[in-house]
Every structure is written in C-alpha cells, then in structure tokens.
C-alpha cells in the first residue's frame, strides 16, 4: 500500500509493535508510514491522518519535532468531520 504526500510516495504497513508504544509513525528518510496492526479501525484512521499531517508539514518546510497535541487535535477533528483512510488515494489495496 502506498500514498503520495506532497508528491512523495510513502509505503504504508501495519506492524505488531511500533516504537514508543505509538499508534503510528512516519519516517521521512525511508518514506514509510507504520500503523499498529492491533488498533481498532477507528484509531488506525486517526493515527493514519496524524502521520499524513506530519508528512505534509515535513515536506512543506516544517522539519524537526512537531507539536503532537496540535497535530493529534487536527487529526481527530478531521476524523470527526468524516475523513478516514478511505478519503485518501491509497494504492495497492488495504
């Protein structure tokens, strides 16, 4: 599965565990997004949206540590507005 963030292709994978017990992570060097496999689908959606926001910020000049509380708030707000993983153009199946 892949998604383009600012034109850059990121590979999406579902992992048993992710560092720091996070729900998701994004790596801008290897262009990967990892989501916890054991999360319920709703939490996977919010985690996915959050990682996409991180990617957008990284590719638009906001390098380094992002404000996690702000990004999680935006991700949760988008989810409440009806945005899910299905809202994005993900290629290669789910």
Task: Return residues touching Zn ion (CB under 5 A).
Answer: 50, 68
Smallest gap from Cβ 22 to Zn ion, in A, equals: 7
Q: What is the per-residue DSSP string for 43-72?
A: HHHHHHHHHHHHHHHHHTT--S---HHHHH
Residue closer to Zn ion (CB basis): 15 or 68: 68
> Which residues share a beta bridge with 10?
3
> Which residues share a beta bridge with 4?
9
Smallest gap from Cβ 46 to Zn ion, in A, equals: 10
Smallest gap from Cβ 47 to Zn ion, in A, equals: 8
Residue closer to Zn ion (CB basis): 49 or 81: 49
Distance, in Å, from the CA atom of 78 to the CA atom of 11, rounded to the nearest integer, reads 22
Residue closer to Zn ion (CB basis): 38 or 68: 68
């Amino acid at each position: 599965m892949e998604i383009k963030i600012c034109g850059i292709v990121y590979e999406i994978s579902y992992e048993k565990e992710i560092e720091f017990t996070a729900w998701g992570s994004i790596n801008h060097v290897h262009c990967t997004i990892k989501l916890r496999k054991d999360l319920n689908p709703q939490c996977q959606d919010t985690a996915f949206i959050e990682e996409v926001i991180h990617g957008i910020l990284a590719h638009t000049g906001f390098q380094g540590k992002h404000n996690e509380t702000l990004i999680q708030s935006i991700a949760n707000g988008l989810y409440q507005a009806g945005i899910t993983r299905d809202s994005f153009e993900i290629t290669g199946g789910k």
